[in-house]
Amino acid sequence: MSGRLIESLATTEPVSELFSDASVLQAMLDFEKALARAEANVGVIPASRADAIAAAATADSFDTADLVHGAFRAGTLSIPLVKALTEKVRASDPSAAGYVHWGATSQDVADSALMLILKRAREALCAGLTRLEDALLHLSEAYSGTTLLGRTLMQPAPPVTLGLKAAGWLGSVARGKRRLEAAFDDALVLQFGGASGTLASLGEQGLAVSQELARELDLSLPEAPWHTHRDRLAELMCACGVLTASLGKMARDISLMMQGEIGEAAEPGGDDRGGSSTMPHKRNPIGCALTLAASHRVPGEVAAFLSAMVQEHERAVGGWQAEWPIVATIIQATGVALASMTEVAEGLSIGRERMQANIEATHGVIFAERAMMMLAPKLGRDRAHKVLQEATSKSIEDERHLAEVLAEMPEVNQHLDPAAIRALEEPDQYLGVAEQFRERLRAGTSKKER
């Protein structure tokens, strides 16, 4: 992986590569190459000069350390890069050197290069989301009738189905994918405005060059340059933030289900995955941990991006210069969360017996609502509520099933027959419209629509 050791839990190899030195450098050079070709296509510069520029624009022929040093002095990587590219062109074709970066400004290079990187990131993220959707759809179908405790405020509640729970995760992920794709559609636009965003140096040919440049780079052409208008990019960062938080919610649920005393699910293991340096018995929720870590980092980065949006006039001091590391962190955090939860979902083990045992361990008190709704038409809601409070307290105190306690209460058994009381604690008989909700979530994320 091209990332540093300190980032080993914060990215994945494919996404890390997108922000590697070689990738960033080549994206900037691709802009310069495309600019020369676009200008040659509309007759701004001679075609032979564009060929010489394109031939020199290969990342492996540049000294990264020198560029980093130059960027620190210049306040942007674009300035030392253009100087270095100009010298390389001059060495092979002196007459072409003067046409390098013709009519562009430093921010045009930086922003458009970032768009090229994000275009590749889109492919990786959306492919990962499709895999995760498939895995969650399988979980929802396979466990559509599997009951487990509902939990509200971390306490046992009436049962739900694992199929509905997985469908809830699926619905959130699918909505996140739609937001992300829409945000990418808006954000992936060319940046080309020259010094003040008017392309004055190209005269009447500015728009024609812009159109050709957008075509060369396969980016959309915006209505005008957006040097200090960062709303499109901000929307993309926010979409990543929402998606990562949705993945974090899924990770939180599964990590809680993995607790030893709960034992309702387990991440895939093997190959030293989820082990402990001191406790051989452990099977840690590693995928969930990486996802939750990402979901903790991203909100602050999104806030930092939004703060940097307040930029001055036509070109900003410090605003856009802050963005590259923020964007890199957000995209990589989204990538590691997505990859982690895909691996979890595809290999998740389900403890059906523990799910049923956990329901049984409540001694039926989770069905107090059901009993109250059965008694309310007979006793009135307030009285029924008091009867069930008394019954559940006795059930918990004596460690007896709620149905047994209720069967001994005259006020109950005179209104409910013994068969109804015995059936009170059957989980699959108190699921309401869980299956209809699951189907509705599933219908909104079908493969046909994806």
In the numeric block, which tokens belong to residue 255? 């990590």
Instruction: Pick the most confident of 4-13, 193-202, 441-450.
Output: 193-202
Q: Cβ distance 57 to 366 under 8 Å?
A: no
Q: What are 81-135's pLDDT values in tens digits?
A: 999 999 999 999 999 999 999 999 999 999 999 999 999 999 999 999 999 999 9
> What is the predicted pLDDT for the residue at 6?
86
Dist CA 133 CA 170 (whole Å): 6
pTM over 0.75: yes
Dist CA 192 CA 195 (whole Å): 10
Domains in the chain (CATH in brackets) are 111-189+226-360+433-450 (1.20.200.10), 362-416 (1.10.40.30)
Q: Cβ distance 427 to 358 under 8 Å?
A: no
Torsion sign (Cα): 128, 132, 133, 138:
positive
> What is the predicted pLDDT for the residue at 283?
74
CA angle at residue 153 from 149 to 157, to 5 degrees? 30
> What is the predicted pLDDT for the residue at 8?
85
Q: What are 332-389's pLDDT values in tens digits?
A: 999 999 999 999 999 999 999 999 999 999 999 999 999 999 999 999 999 999 999 9
**Mean pLDDT, rounded, for 30-39:** 98
Residue positions annotated with a catalytic role: 276, 315
Which pLDDT band, with edges at 50, 70 and 90, does 274 fall under?
Answer: low
